[in-house]
Amino acid sequence: MKRSELNRIMREGVAFIKKMNFALPPFAYWTPDDWKDKGHEYDEIRDNMLGWDITDFGSGDYHRIGLLMFTLRNGNFNMEKYIKPYAEKLLIVEEEQVTPFHFHWSKMEDIINRGGGNLLVQVYNSTEDERLADTPVSISQDGRNYTAPAGTIVRLTPGESITLAPRVYHKFWGEKGSGMVLLGEVSKVNDDRVDNRFLEKVGRFPTIEEDEPPLYLLSSEYPEAK
């Protein structure tokens, strides 16, 4: 992805988040120059990859297959000093913009429609060899627990949520004609470097073509503290 595209996506994301009356923490707006002066007291942000995360999953077409995420809080699988057993993210999904099928080996998560348009979530159990199973899926949706056929598409309107257990494949996208969606994700500790199993091979973190200076750094780009 070009840096100019990432910058544009961030600007549009910030405008939408503000429109939805959600306030990001101050570090969301730190520039690369700001980061040069941030010491070890901010290592939790660095070590736990808090902040901006934008990917096109290697598709080369962000608006068709892509996702904007902002990690607000997180623990760490590997560092005992970060004792939080939970994580929270904010996500922005455009109309018909797909996040491909994947599951998590460890993470259980709630996906919450915080406002805007409608979200469509398709779910499958996984087989022993990590393919799509044809077995019924147990679904937990805002206190309602039920079983649905493999491949069921759950529609989440603003305020609604779904709980996704480990090893449950899920794909989601914004419903056409309903507008951009602001999502919340509340989960166990998150580490996208080791806990994602995509059904088909994707590029999780983008290769960046530097065609202009960064607006804000991605969570994978923070400089070490001096």
Is residue 166 predicted with pLDDT exceeding 90?
Answer: yes
How many CB atoms within 10 Å of residue 70? 23
| Whole-structure pTM value | 0.95
What's the pLDDT tens digit per position in 28-53?
A: 999 999 999 999 999 999 999 999 99
Structure tokens at 112: 């919450």
Q: What is the dihedral of CA 211, 217, 221, 226, to 10 degrees?
A: 120
- Number of domains within the chain: 1
Q: Is residue 115 part of a domain?
A: yes
Residue 119 belongs to domain spanning? 3-198
What's the pLDDT tens digit per position in 176-219?
A: 999 999 999 999 998 888 899 999 999 888 999 999 999 999 99
Residue 160's CATH number: 2.60.120.10
Is residue 122 predicted with pLDDT exceeding 90?
Answer: yes
- CB hemisphere CA count around 191 (13 angstroms): 16
Q: Is residue 221 part of a domain?
A: no
Q: Is residue 216 part of a domain?
A: no
